[in-house]
Amino acid sequence: MGSTIRSILRDDAWTRTRWYLLIILVCITSSIKAQESLISRLEVFHLKTGQREVVWQEEGHFEAPNWSPDGSYLLINQNGLLYKFNLISREKELLPTGSLDQCNNDHGITTDGAFLAISNNDPDIPSETGTSRIYVMPLKGGDPRLLTPLYPSYWHGWSPDGGTIVYTAYRGDDYDIYSMGLNDSLETRLTTEPGLDDGPEYSADGAYIYYNSIHSGSMEIWRMNSDGNEKVQLTDDGFSNWFPHPSPDGRFLVYLAYLEDQGGGHPPMKNVALQLYDLETQHIRTLCSFTGGQGSINVPSWSPDSEKFAFVSYESIPGKDE
């Protein structure tokens, strides 16, 4: 499959685009089909001890934890809605999102806790490429405001000052990375190279954007300046690498590695590992492995003190269809 995908990358843009869309559709369909046939575990990885801690699990499907800026809860999506998991009481409660009830796994909170970005699969939009659009609302409550009228658009990161979002979007014939100011609604394209670019996130100081791209022929972690210049490939290890998340103290990236080549896809229920990339030494260390992929760590999930991060692992329930 991997060699097939790489050969497709050298074909015409329309053929390449159709393959990307097929991969994304398969990932979404597999994720939906698995919702009632698995156990989802919300886990915390502690860097100092190297230990995994399961803080919540249930039969069903939830995804993509964010850590709240005050450190008190984790935010997850489940069945189109968002939920807060209180790390003290170990209870889950609904976070109201107004009319948005098709929230996907691309959501996140500004570092000051003022705003929440939500990617919602808007209904009644005729589109073969996806209907996700990005909304912003006050975290303390209020009506969501549409930020990206064009679709599909998938949020992935806030700038450190909370004034700009960075996201993946399909425009024309490819998925690229874009930025947009919270108040000016001007979409700026940051990647133009052929191939899928995804998972963008700002460094702690706002100087860089880390992302994953298949531009070189395999899915790898990349870095560029926040204006889109000076792109540098950071990994080349035979794995399919996705969703780099820089720690708040600027020391590390944690990212998801598929242990078998997935081409341009990031399907669920695969053998994956979490990798820790030291930004000073460029040393990569495997932290743990589990069954996961789509939904495990799509969005920023570091604790504010950079000592731990959250992710989701999955287990199929014997006797039920996956």
Q: How far apart are CA 267 and CA 260, in angstroms?
A: 11
In this structure, what token pair is assigned to residue 89?
A: 């009481």
Where does the pLDDT of residue 302 fall: very low under 50, low under 70, confident under 90, or very high at 90 and above?
very high
> Which of 113, 221, 201 minimizes the C-alpha distance to 157?
201
Q: How far apart are CA 226 and CA 247, in angstroms?
A: 17
Q: How far apart are CA 312 and CA 22, in angstroms?
A: 25
Per-residue pLDDT tens for 152-171? 999 999 999 999 999 999 99
Look at residue 18 and tell me whether its pLDDT is greater than 70: no
Q: What is the mean pLDDT of residues 110-135?
A: 94
> Domain-by-domain residue ranges, the chain?
2-316
pLDDT at 44: 98
In this structure, what token pair is assigned to residue 248?
A: 């708040």
In this structure, what token pair is assigned to residue 265?
A: 């896809």
Per-residue pLDDT tens for 208-265? 999 999 999 999 999 999 999 999 999 999 899 999 999 999 999 999 999 999 999 9
Cβ 246 vs Cβ 159: under 8 Å: no
Specify the DSSP element, H or E, that contains 32: helix 13-33
CATH superfamily ID and name for 2-316: TolB, C-terminal domain (2.120.10.30)
pLDDT at 33: 47
Share of the chain above pLDDT 90, in %: 84
Cβ 300 vs Cβ 157: under 8 Å: yes
Q: How far apart are CA 265 and CA 20, in angstroms?
A: 8
Q: What is the DSSP letter of 180?
A: E
Cβ 36 vs Cβ 314: under 8 Å: no
Cβ 60 vs Cβ 40: under 8 Å: yes
> Which of 178, 134, 180, 179 minimizes the C-alpha distance to 155?
134
Share of the chain above pLDDT 70, in %: 88
Q: How many CB atoms lie within 10 A of CB 291?
A: 16
Q: How far apart are CA 256 and CA 265, in angstroms?
A: 13
pLDDT at 10: 42
Q: How far apart are CA 164 and CA 226, in angstroms?
A: 11
Q: What is the mean pLDDT of residues 88-108?
A: 97
Where does the pLDDT of residue 124 fall: very low under 50, low under 70, confident under 90, or very high at 90 and above?
confident
